Structure 1
């Protein structure tokens, strides 16, 4: 069996012909295929789980940014969620772009009745700088969505938006994580990928902090001098959810997800005139990796 710490299916892999673990993404659609629902499902396939989706919004999006966004009615979100969960079942849920306060509230209510672990990627602004969540939804994210999270995975801009704490260096990360945990998630993963852009920051490594308020896990990898990183946050959160669905504990799931997304970032490729996506199938395109379809 492949080791989930290496990015593949875990020790509880189903026998041939049986259903693999099921993971549900609740997020927006990226028409360019680099982020959102599309990135989530690619990640889930690469990590050996069956991906399912609840579309919350549709975007017109390409390598240069978001040209338009349309939120789906909360009733449509609820119907998709109930249709999938009540019939197929789910071993983990990942949330991404939720667009508005009504959708945030509806999703939080649905998650409250779900026993599966939940990974919340609190998407507020796209990597191109386009707003993907209404400003008035902030309170609902803090008071309704975060308490339902097993793990919350904000980048530094999202951390500042949620907590008011601007992380300028590694020393600020524990305080920011504590502020996130005060809203009720079991674990907070403060992602330090944007530290390179902050004056005086140590840019030698890409550093993330995972903590539940008792344990601290610092995840470090050499910072990659790459341009094509669209979909990084979606990919990481989906990878964490996939590893949780395989039965990994949170620290092991996050470490495995970090390893997978680092390889995806290294394999990012150009598309269009702007920022290209990370490579969700990077393992299949390396000489040492498995062939497509083998996990």
Structure 2
């Protein structure tokens, strides 16, 4: 029987992030991916030029269709765009008993906003308490808390604990926006750091979709029955391989995507 994960996110027409990245990552890790599209973006490696939110009743109907038929082992939530979409998703998944990975998507790699400013509070107040794991980068964590970006591991831990106090069961503070030769991700619960994941900081501009890929990879591991730390470790290793091989793809003229299928084929 297939392991199944559901991604609830926006569509990236360029194929490097969003629903497309999620389904690629889940497939690469041996998990069947189902999807609920919350928004359609006109997007490539250089810019997001248009965003169209899916009607709320259609989003709710997609979630209902999947959860009433497929044996979903974990849910990943990405781009939600507006307060109404956030509210709709929170209500639609209320009866789901499995793990939920929430990636608080706010800004595309191109710098374009993917979350309305008035939606940050709704995300924090309504959806954060639904999260088994929250996966913010440093600017996203700071935005959710209304503080400056963390610059040290101690600050990352403090902000992770603060996010747990807002309702998330655990937080993966991602260090990709940090400085130095080492990229450090910290898995944190309300008591402090649970695990640390370290990788060399790669000299590449082809990192489009890294956040989507990591969160969906973690959801895939959870759907396979892995514990949280093991699921994050598997996802971290997979993403690092995808980043290492990203430059071989040569997709687009801006921030290119990571190589989701680096274990299957070479560019």
User: Normalised by the shorter chain, which TM-score bucket?
Assistant: over 0.9
Measured after TM superposition, the shift of residue 169 of structure 1 is 2.5
**Separation in 2, partners of 1:173, 1:102:** 30
**Separation in 2, partners of 1:192, 1:117:** 23
Larger Rg: 1 or 2? 1
**Separation in 1, partners of 2:31, 2:178:** 32
Measured after TM superposition, the shift of residue 182 of structure 1 is 1.2
**Separation in 2, partners of 1:110, 1:278:** 31
Question: Which of residues 248, 251, 254 is equivalent to 2:226?
Answer: 248
Q: 1:14 maps to which residue? A: none
Question: Which of residues 210, 214, 238 is equivalent to 2:216?
Answer: 238
Q: 1:26 maps to which residue? A: 8
Q: 1:285 maps to which residue? A: 265
**Separation in 2, partners of 1:169, 1:212:** 17
Pick which of 269-278 and 74-83 moved more.
Answer: 269-278
Question: Which of residues 153, 175, 189 is equivalent to 1:192?
Answer: 175
Question: Which runs of at least 4 in structure 1 moved beyond 4 Å after TM superposition?
Answer: none
**Separation in 2, partners of 1:22, 1:216:** 26
Pick which of 110-119 and 209-218 moved more.
Answer: 209-218
Q: 1:15 maps to which residue? A: none
Question: Which of residues 254, 258, 262 is equivalent to 1:274?
Answer: 254
Residues 1:175 and 2:155 aligned together: no
Measured after TM superposition, the shift of residue 222 of structure 1 is 1.5
Q: 2:43 maps to which residue? A: 61
Q: Deviations over 1:208-227 (max 9, x none)?
A: 11011235211111111122
- Aligned residues between the structures: 262
Q: CA RMSD in A?
A: 1.1
Question: Which of residues 164, 188, 191 is equivalent to 2:146?
Answer: 164
**Separation in 2, partners of 1:222, 1:138:** 31
Measured after TM superposition, the shift of residue 133 of structure 1 is 0.9
Pick which of 269-278 and 231-240 moved more.
Answer: 269-278
**Separation in 2, partners of 1:89, 1:100:** 28
**Separation in 1, partners of 2:136, 2:41:** 21
Measured after TM superposition, the shift of residue 96 of structure 1 is 0.4
TM-score, normalized by length of structure 2?
0.95
- For the 8 Å contact 2:5–2:31, the answer to whether it is kept is yes
Question: Which of residues 198, 212, 230 is equivalent to 1:220?
Answer: 198
Q: Secondary structure at the match of 2:118?
A: helix
**Separation in 2, partners of 1:272, 1:254:** 29
**Separation in 1, partners of 2:254, 2:108:** 14
**Separation in 2, partners of 1:182, 1:164:** 14
**Separation in 1, partners of 2:263, 2:182:** 22
TM-score, normalized by length of structure 1?
0.87
Measured after TM superposition, the shift of residue 113 of structure 1 is 1.0
Q: 2:134 maps to which residue? A: 152
Q: Unaligned stretches of 5+ in structure 2? A: none
Q: Secondary structure at the match of 1:285?
A: coil
**Separation in 2, partners of 1:143, 1:213:** 17
Question: Which of residues 204, 208, 211 is equivalent to 2:188?
Answer: 211
